[in-house]
C-alpha cells in the first residue's frame, strides 16, 4: 500500500486522514496525493453531474453525496467502491472479447443494443429517428427478445443511469426525491419492481431495462415526447439467490419486502409521483402475479384516491389476445359474433393468463347478452392448465383469481377429464379451436400437443405461443406449421420469421404482443384527459386492433399488423380510446382542447387530433435565454 508522508499526516484533519487511509487500502498501487483529496467546488447538481465525465462517479457516489448533490433516486441503490466499478466494467469487456473469439450468437444483439444505447445517451432525437425508421430491425433489440438478455446482463452493461430508482431504504424520502428528476412535466411512467421480467423471473433492480424498453415504444409508436417519459425501478430487494450473492449486483442485496411493508413502499411512490406530476399515467409492468392483481385493484378501485394507471401484463395483454382471438374467428370465414363458440385452452394462470381469460370471457358474455346465463356460458369455453395441470373445483388452495374459471365437477365426467389433467390430455379431449400459452415454458406446445390439436373442431386451429422472450415461446411457427399445415394460425410474443411452406405458400408468423396496445392506451388516455382508464377504454382499444386487419389479410392468417405499422395502429387505438372516454363522460380535455370540443370531433377529426399531438424526431429551433 502507498504510504502517507509525515507532512501530509500532520496537515490533514483526523476524519480526512481516515478517508485517505481507506482510499489507499482500496487503491494499493495508486499514488494518492493531497491534491486528490482537495474538495472540488461544483456549480451543478443532479443529472448535470452524472452527465459530466469529469465529476461523474456513477454508482460510487455515497448516500450522503447523493443527498448533498441532488442525486438520490437517479442511481441504482447499491453504493459500490471504485474497484467494484472496474470489476463490473472488466467483466463486460472480457465477455465481449471472449465472444468475439468464440462467437456465441447472443453477442450480436447485445452489441447492437450497446451501440443504440450509446446513441440514446448522446442524441435522443437521432436515436428515435433511427429506431422509428428501422423499427422492424431494432424493436427486437430495444424490446423483446434482446431487452431480456440486457436485463440478465445489466451489471456489465450499465453505463449511464436512465430513469429513477426508489428503494425500500428511501422510505420517507420519496416525496422529495421525485424533485431530483429534471423534467417539470412527465406524461408516462413505466414502473417495475423487477420481480417477473418477461418469462425470466426475478431480475431485481436489473429489470429497469424493461421499463426503458417499453418507454422506447411509447416514444417510437405513440409519439410521447421523450423528455416526458420516466422509467422507474422500485427496489424492494430480490429473491434471486444468484443476484443476492453477486458482488457486482446493482440493487439491494436483501430478500424482497412482503405484505404491508411492500405495499407501503408502492403507496409512497404513487403518492410522490402523482403529487409532483398530477397528470402522469403510470403503467405497471412485470410485477409478479400476486402483486399485479392486488395493486391494480388497489390503485384503480380501492384507495380513497384512484390513480391514472393500468397494468400492462394483465390488461394490455388481454386486449391484444382478444384482438387475435377475434382475428382467428374471422380467419375461419366466420363473423366475430361467433367468438363465444370458440373452445380455448389456456396454458398459464399467472397475471397474463388470468387477465386474458377474464377479459375474453367478458367479451364473449357481452356478445351473448351480458346476463348471468351469458357469463356462465362464456366461462365454460375456457380450460386453464397451470404447472399442476387442469384447474378444477377439486383443487385444494385454488388461487382466488383462477377460481371463477375452475372447471366444474359436473362438467368433468362427461369430458373425461379430472383435476390436474395434463395439457396434452386436455387438448385431446376438448379438441379446442385455440391453444394459448402464457406459461413462460419454452416448448410446452410439444409435438404431442400439436398432434392432438390436429383433431381441433376448428377449420383453422390457432396457436398463440405468447411467452417471452423467444426461448420461452411455447412453440415455434416452424413446429406449428409443420404439424398442423398451412391452415394453422400462429402468433408469438416475440418475433419469428414467416415460414416458407413451399409451392409459394407462406405460414404467417404474427407477433401477438401487448406492444400493439399499451402505447395507444397511454396516448389516448393522455389526450382525452380521462382521470381513470376504464374497462370500456381498454375494450375500445382491443376492438380497434381487432378490426385493423382487412378481410384479405385475415384470411391469409395475418391477424396482427406488422411492426412497421405500429405507429399507425397506435394512432388508431389512441383515437378509439379518446372517443370511448368522451362517450363515458370521462374525458376532461388536454391542453387547449377542452372536453366539450373533444366531444364535437368526428372519428376522422379525432384521429387527426391524435396525429397532430404525436412527437416526431426532428431538431427544433433553439433559442438562448439567460433566466
Ligand X SMILES: NC(=O)C1=CN([C@@H]2O[C@H](COP(=O)(O)OP(=O)(O)OC[C@H]3O[C@@H](n4cnc5c(N)ncnc54)[C@H](O)[C@@H]3O)[C@@H](O)[C@H]2O)C=CC1
Annotated binding site for (S)-malate: 196, 468, 513
Nearer to ligand PYR, 361 or 513 (CB): 513
Q: Does residue number 466 form part of the binding site for ligand X (CB under 6 A)?
A: yes
Q: Does residue number 493 form part of the binding site for ligand PYR (CB under 6 A)?
A: yes
Query: SS3 breakdown of the chain: % helix, strand, coil, rounded to 5?
Result: 55, 10, 35
Q: Does residue number 193 form part of the binding site for Mg ion (CB under 5 A)?
A: no
Q: Nine-digit cell at 564? A: 412497421
- Give the list of residues 6+ apart from residue 559 with CB closer than 8 angstroms, or none: 323, 324, 327, 328, 330, 331, 489, 491, 510, 512, 549
Nearer to ligand PYR, 202 or 313 (CB): 313
Question: How many C-beta neighbours within 10 Å does residue 350 have?
Answer: 25
Give the Cα separation of 309 and 191 in Å (integer): 10
Q: Does residue number 351 form part of the binding site for ligand PYR (CB under 6 A)?
A: no
Q: Does residue number 513 form part of the binding site for ligand PYR (CB under 6 A)?
A: yes
Shortest distance (Å) from residue 468 CB to ligand PYR? 4
- Asked if 434 and 474 touch (Cβ cutoff 8 Å), the reply is no
Q: What angle do CA 579, 582, 588 make, to 5 degrees?
A: 125
Nearer to ligand PYR, 165 or 516 (CB): 516
Place of cell 494518492: 32
On the 0-12 / 13-18 / 19+ scale of CB atoms within 10 A, 227 is middle
Give the Cα separation of 422 and 429 in Å (integer): 11
Q: For residue 249, indicate whether it is catalytic.
A: no
Which one of residues 195, 468, 511, 613 is an interface residue with ligand PYR (CB under 6 A)?
468
Binding-site annotation: residue ranges for a divalent metal cation = 285-286, 313
- Asked if 31 and 2 touch (Cβ cutoff 8 Å), the reply is yes
Given 214, 218, 307, 571, the catalytic residue:
214
Name residue 464's beta-bridge partners. Answer: 436, 491
Q: Which does 295 bind (CB under 5 to 8 A by kind): Mg ion, ligand PYR, ligand X, none?
A: none
Q: Which does 353 bind (CB under 5 to 8 A by kind): ligand PYR, ligand X, Mg ion, none?
A: ligand X
Residues 324-353 close enough to bind ligand X by CB under 6 A:
347-353
Reduced to 3 states (helix: H, G, I; strand: E, B; else coil), residue 360 is helix
The DSSP code for 88 is H
Q: Which does 424 bind (CB under 5 to 8 A by kind): Mg ion, ligand PYR, ligand X, none?
A: none
Name residue 434's beta-bridge partners. Answer: 344, 462
Which one of residues 439, 470, 570, 606 is an interface residue with ligand X (CB under 6 A)?
439
Shortest distance (Å) from residue 169 CB to ligand X? 27
Q: Nine-digit cell at 398? A: 385454488
Tell me the per-residue interface mask from 298 to 337 with Mg ion, x by CB under 5 A, - otherwise: ---------------x------------------------
Which one of residues 17, 367, 441, 595 is an interface residue with ligand X (CB under 6 A)?
441
Q: Does residue number 286 form part of the binding site for Mg ion (CB under 5 A)?
A: yes
Q: Nine-digit cell at 6? A: 509525515
Give the Cα separation of 327 and 298 in Å (integer): 33
Tell me the per-residue interface mask from 190 to 229 with ligand X, x by CB under 6 A, - otherwise: ------x-xx------------------------------
Q: Nine-digit cell at 474? A: 411455447
Nearer to Mg ion, 469 or 529 (CB): 469
Q: Does residue number 514 form part of the binding site for ligand X (CB under 6 A)?
A: yes
Which one of residues 296, 440, 484, 607 is an interface residue with ligand X (CB under 6 A)?
440
Q: Nine-digit cell at 371? A: 346476463
Size (the chain), residues: 627
Given 143, 262, 548, 590, the catalytic residue:
143
Q: Is the dihedral of CA 301, 303, 309, 314 positive or negative?
A: negative
Which one of residues 193, 216, 268, 313 is an interface residue with ligand PYR (CB under 6 A)?
313
Residue/partner pairs of 581-587 with CB below 8 Å, 24 or more apart: 581/524, 581/525, 581/528, 581/529, 581/530, 581/534, 581/537, 582/528, 583/536, 584/534, 584/536, 584/537, 586/528, 586/530, 586/531, 586/532, 586/534, 586/537, 587/528, 587/529, 587/530
Verify cis geometry, omega within 30 degrees of 0, for the bond prior to 401: no
Residues 476-495 close enough to bind ligand X by CB under 6 A:
493
Q: Does residue number 248 form part of the binding site for ligand X (CB under 6 A)?
A: no
Shortest distance (Å) from residue 286 CB to Mg ion? 4
Which one of residues 373, 387, 501, 583 is an interface residue with ligand X (CB under 6 A)?
387
Q: Which does 153 bind (CB under 5 to 8 A by kind): ligand PYR, Mg ion, ligand X, none?
A: none
Q: For residue 245, indicate whether it is catalytic.
A: no
Q: Does residue number 286 form part of the binding site for ligand PYR (CB under 6 A)?
A: yes
Residues 128-147 close enough to bind Mg ion by CB under 5 A:
none
The closest residue (CB) to ligand PYR is: 468
Question: How many C-beta neighbours within 10 Å does residue 610 have?
Answer: 27
Place of cell 493531497: 34
Catalytic residue numbers? 143, 214
Q: Which residues bind Mg ion (CB under 5 A)?
A: 286, 313
Q: Which residues bind ligand PYR (CB under 6 A)?
A: 144, 198, 286, 312-313, 468, 493, 513-514
Q: Which residues bind ligand X (CB under 6 A)?
A: 196, 198-199, 289, 313, 317, 320, 347-353, 385-387, 423, 438-441, 444, 466-468, 472, 493, 512-514
Amino acid at each position: 500500500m502507498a504510504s502517507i508522508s509525515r507532512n501530509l499526516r500532520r496537515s490533514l484533519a483526523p476524519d480526512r486522514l481516515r478517508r485517505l487511509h481507506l482510499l489507499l487500502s482500496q487503491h494499493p498501487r495508486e499514488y494518492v496525493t493531497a491534491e486528490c483529496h482537495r474538495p472540488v467546488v461544483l456549480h451543478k447538481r443532479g443529472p448535470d453531474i452524472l452527465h459530466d465525465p469529469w465529476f461523474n462517479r456513477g454508482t460510487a457516489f455515497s448516500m450522503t453525496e447523493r443527498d448533498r448533490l441532488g442525486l438520490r433516486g437517479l442511481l441504482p441503490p447499491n453504493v459500490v467502491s471504485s474497484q467494484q466499478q472496474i470489476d463490473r466494467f472488466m467483466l463486460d469487456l472480457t465477455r465481449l472479447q471472449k465472444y468475439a473469439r468464440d462467437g456465441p450468437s447472443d453477442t450480436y444483439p447485445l452489441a447492437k443494443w450497446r451501440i443504440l444505447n450509446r446513441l440514446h445517451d448522446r442524441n435522443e432525437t437521432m436515436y428515435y429517428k433511427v429506431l422509428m425508421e428501422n423499427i422492424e430491425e431494432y424493436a427486437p433489440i430495444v424490446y423483446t427478445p434482446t431487452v431480456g438478455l440486457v436485463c440478465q446482463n445489466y451489471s456489465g452493461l450499465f453505463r449511464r443511469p436512465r430513469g429513477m430508482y426508489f428503494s425500500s431504504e428511501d422510505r420517507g424520502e420519496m416525496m422529495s426525491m421525485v424533485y431530483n428528476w429534471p423534467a417539470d412535466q412527465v406524461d408516462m411512467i413505466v414502473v417495475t419492481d423487477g420481480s417477473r421480467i418477461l418469462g425470466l423471473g426475478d431480475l431485481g433492480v436489473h429489470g429497469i431495462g424493461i421499463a426503458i424498453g417499453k418507454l422506447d415504444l411509447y416514444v417510437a409508436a405513440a409519439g410521447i415526447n421523450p423528455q416526458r417519459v420516466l422509467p422507474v425501478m422500485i427496489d424492494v430487494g430480490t429473491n434471486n439467490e444468484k443476484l443476492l450473492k453477486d458482488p457486482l449486483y446493482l440493487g439491494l442485496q436483501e430478500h424482497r419486502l412482503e405484505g404491508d411493508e411492500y405495499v407501503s413502499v408502492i403507496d409512497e411512490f404513487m403518492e410522490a409521483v402523482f403529487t409532483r406530476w398530477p397528470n402522469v399515467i403510470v403503467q405497471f409492468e412485470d410485477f409478479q402475479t400476486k402483486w399485479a392483481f392486488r395493486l391494480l385493484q388497489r390503485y384503480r378501485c380501492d384507495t380513497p384516491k384512484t390513480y391514472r394507471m393500468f397494468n400492462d401484463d394483465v390488461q394490455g395483454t388481454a386486449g391484444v389476445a382478444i384482438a387475435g382471438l377475434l382475428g382467428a374467428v374471422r380467419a375461419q370465414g366466420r363473423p366475430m359474433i361467433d367468438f363465444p363458440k370458440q373452445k380455448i385452452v389456456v396454458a398459464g394462470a399467472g397475471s397474463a393468463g388470468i387477465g386474458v381469460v377474464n377479459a375474453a370471457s367478458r367479451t364473449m358474455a357481452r356478445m351473448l347478452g351480458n346476463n348471468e346465463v351469458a357469463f356462465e356460458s362464456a366461462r365454460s369455453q375456457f380450460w386453464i392448465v397451470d404447472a399442476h395441470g387442469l384447474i378444477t373445483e377439486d383443487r385444494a388452495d385454488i388461487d382466488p383469481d383462477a377460481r371463477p374459471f375452475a372447471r366444474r365437477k359436473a362438467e368433468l365426467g362427461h369430458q373425461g377429464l379430472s383435476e390436474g389433467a395434463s395439457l396434452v390430455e386436455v387438448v385431446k379431449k376438448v379438441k379446442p379451436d385455440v391453444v394459448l400459452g402464457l406459461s413462460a415454458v419454452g416448448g410446452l406446445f410439444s409435438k404431442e400437443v400439436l398432434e392432438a390439436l390436429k383433431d381441433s373442431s376448428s377449420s383453422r386451429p390457432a396457436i398463440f405461443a405468447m411467452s417471452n422472450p423467444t426461448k420461452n415461446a411455447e412453440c415455434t411457427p416452424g413446429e406449428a406449421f409443420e404439424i398442423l399445415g398451412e391452415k394453422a394460425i400462429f402468433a408469438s410474443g416475440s418475433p419469428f420469421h414467416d415460414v416458407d411452406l413451399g409451392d409459394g405458400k407462406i405460414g404467417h408468423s404474427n407477433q401477438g404482443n401487448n406492444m400493439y396496445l399499451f402505447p395507444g392506451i397511454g396516448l389516448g388516455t393522455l389526450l382525452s384527459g380521462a382521470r381513470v382508464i376504464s374497462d370500456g377504454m381498454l375494450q375500445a382499444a382491443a376492438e380497434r386492433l381487432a378490426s385493423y386487419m382487412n378481410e384479405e389479410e385475415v384470411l391469409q392468417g395475418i391477424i396482427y399488423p406488422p411492426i412497421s405499422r405500429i405507429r399507425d395502429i397506435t394512432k388508431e387505438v389512441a383515437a378509439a380510446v379518446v372517443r370511448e372516454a368522451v362517450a363515458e363522460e370521462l374525458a376532461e380535455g388536454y391542453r387547449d382542447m377542452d372536453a366539450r370540443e373533444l366531444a364535437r370531433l368526428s372519428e376522422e377529426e379525432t384521429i387527426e387530433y391524435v396525429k397532430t399531438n404525436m412527437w416526431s424526431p426532428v431538431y427544433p429551433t433553439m433559442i438562448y435565454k439567460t433566466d
